[in-house]
Amino acid sequence: MKNDDVLTEWDEKNEEQVDKKSAKKLVWRTRLSISLTVLRTLFIIGFLYLLYIIPVSVYYDMSGKEAEFNRLVSTLVETHHPGLFVEKFGLENEAEISPLLTESTSLTLYRNVGDWEVVIGEVTANKRLFGKVNYTFHFDDKYLYDNNYTFSYAVAPDLLGESFIHDESEPDSSVKSQLEKIEDGFVAQAHFSTKESMDPEELREMLADYDVKIYQMPVFGGETTAVDVGKGKAGQFTFVPSLMLSPFTEYNDKNGPRASYESLTSESALNDAVDQFYKDIDWLIEHGNYSGRDIDEKRLEYLKGEGIQVYGAMVTGPIREIERLQEEELFHQFYIGGIEVWNWNENKQ
């Protein structure tokens, strides 16, 4: 009997061990089956994703939509923000499209100081399907609380139906004092407003007497009369966000940049820039969905009826030439956008 009990007990233990082994095998088989199923599912999803995104990306690139989005962002920045320019010819300037058809890009920002093109950050932009273009500046600030990249021009009083009130105190004394303390061997970027509005060519001819290059001019688009854009006051001066006349950039039929003028300094460069300015704003309105498009439509209508009048400029050149500009009776409200060590070619373009 004892032997039978021992044998029975041994059989039960053996069966229990066999059951545990079988259970473990079953668990591992189940886990393996689930893992393979998950991997197959992920592979199928990934394959379907590639079947979807590769043709979308190829079409986005080959159709010119990528270049069109970069052109849209570049033109928005350069026609709406003083002193900022976008690197358009870099190979890294590739816009992307997401599976949800959101377009995005990141472009290098720079400003002209002397013959330097000084990188100051980047602009990132995105546009959802049927949404508006949103863009953000990321500046490489040198100083805490530095707002050295934002600037507005004082609207010439005659554009407001007013007369300029001459202030007997010394104008722009802080800028003048700053420049006086800088030795030769440096170049600067300077913004200034004019006390009277004028034709772009008239302002260019005035600046031809100075060894500077012209890069932008603020254009009056009826912002205080025909178009409501919001305005600010500081003493007798009125400041509004203005459109900017910038150097001409030529694009091919797929919106890729083909050629450009360096500045507005020559008569031919300015004339081409004026012609292109109308085309750029018209192109923005037609192809872009962005905040302020309705305002630009009104501005363009005003400009087609009244023509282009400017009331300031952004220039760059040697420190001593910027000092000389301050002696010009019609120039005021100076602002220094950047100072760099000497890099200057006196052969203007």
3-state secondary structure 154-209: ECCHHHHCCCCCCCCCCCCHHHHHHHHCCCCCEEEEEEEEEEEEECHHHHHHHHCC
Q: How far apart are CA 217 and CA 240, in angstroms?
A: 14
Q: So what's the pLDDT on residue 231?
A: 73
My answer on whether 21 and 148 are in the same domain is no
Domain that holds residue 303: 65-341
My answer on whether 209 and 289 are in the same domain is yes
Give the bridge partners for 331, in sequence order: 194
Q: How far apart are CA 260 and CA 64, in angstroms?
A: 19
> Does residue 27 lie in a domain region?
yes
> Does residue 347 lie in a domain region?
no
Q: How far apart are CA 280 and CA 274, in angstroms?
A: 10
**End residue of a domain, out of 10, 33, 62:** 62
Q: So what's the pLDDT on residue 49?
A: 63
Q: 216 φ, ψ to 5°?
A: -150, 155
**End residue of a domain, out of 62, 97, 112:** 62
pLDDT digits 0-9 by tens, 215-258:
999 999 999 887 888 777 777 788 898 999 999 998 888 888 88
| Residue ranges with strand state E in the chain | 85-86, 96-97, 103-113, 116-127, 133-139, 186-198, 213-219, 232-234, 237-239, 243-245, 249-251, 257-260, 310-318, 331-341
Q: So what's the pLDDT on residue 170?
A: 47
pLDDT over 90 at 13, yes or no:
no
pLDDT (mean) for 303-314: 95
**CA 295, 299, 302, 303: dihedral to nearest 10 degrees?**
-170
> Does residue 199 lie in a domain region?
yes
Nearest to 86 by CA among 128, 142, 137, 133: 137
46 contacts: CB under 8 Å, gap ≥ 6 = none
My answer on whether 265 and 120 are in the same domain is yes
Residue 316 burial (10 A CB sphere; 0-12, 13-18, 19+): buried
> Does residue 348 lie in a domain region?
no
My answer on whether 36 and 161 are in the same domain is no
For strands 103-113 and 116-127, give the pairing: antiparallel
Tell me the CA end-to-end span of the chain in Å, nearest whole number.
116
pLDDT over 70 at 11, yes or no:
no
My answer on whether 71 and 112 are in the same domain is yes
| Domains: count for the chain | 2
Q: So what's the pLDDT on residue 134?
A: 94
Q: So what's the pLDDT on residue 58?
A: 67
Q: So what's the pLDDT on residue 227?
A: 83
Q: How far apart are CA 125 and CA 66, in angstroms?
A: 12
Q: So what's the pLDDT on residue 4?
A: 53
Q: So what's the pLDDT on residue 347?
A: 57
- Find out whether 320 and 184 touch, Cβ atoms under 8 Å: yes
pLDDT (mean) for 14-19: 56
The helix or strand, by DSSP H or E, that contains position 241, with its residue range, turns out to be none
- Find out whether 188 and 316 touch, Cβ atoms under 8 Å: yes
> Does residue 174 lie in a domain region?
yes
pLDDT (mean) for 6-22: 56
My answer on whether 236 and 320 are in the same domain is yes
Question: By percentage, how much of the chain surpasses pLDDT 90?
Answer: 52
My answer on whether 257 and 138 are in the same domain is yes
Question: Between these two residues, 301 and 98, which has the higher pLDDT value?
Answer: 301
Q: How far apart are CA 299 and CA 227, in angstroms?
A: 7
SS3 string, 272-305, reads HHHHHHHHHHHHHHHHCCECCHHHHHHHHHHHHH
89 pLDDT band (50/70/90 cuts)?
confident
My answer on whether 2 and 69 are in the same domain is no
Q: So what's the pLDDT on residue 16?
A: 56
My answer on whether 110 and 48 are in the same domain is no
Nearest to 320 by CA among 214, 180, 209: 180
> Does residue 346 lie in a domain region?
no
pLDDT over 70 at 169, yes or no:
no
**End residue of a domain, out of 30, 62, 94:** 62
For strands 85-86 and 96-97, give the pairing: unpaired
Question: Between these two residues, 103 and 43, which has the higher pLDDT value?
Answer: 103
My answer on whether 175 and 257 are in the same domain is yes
pLDDT (mean) for 313-342: 93
pLDDT digits 0-9 by tens, 254-275:
888 888 888 999 999 999 999 9
Which residue type is seen at 11? D
> Does residue 77 lie in a domain region?
yes
Q: How far apart are CA 103 and CA 133, in angstroms?
A: 9
My answer on whether 9 and 108 are in the same domain is no
My answer on whether 53 and 94 are in the same domain is no
> Does residue 349 lie in a domain region?
no
Helix, strand counts (H, E) of the chain: 7, 14
**CA 204, 207, 213, 215: dihedral to nearest 10 degrees?**
-50
pLDDT (mean) for 6-25: 58
pLDDT digits 0-9 by tens, 47-57:
666 666 666 56
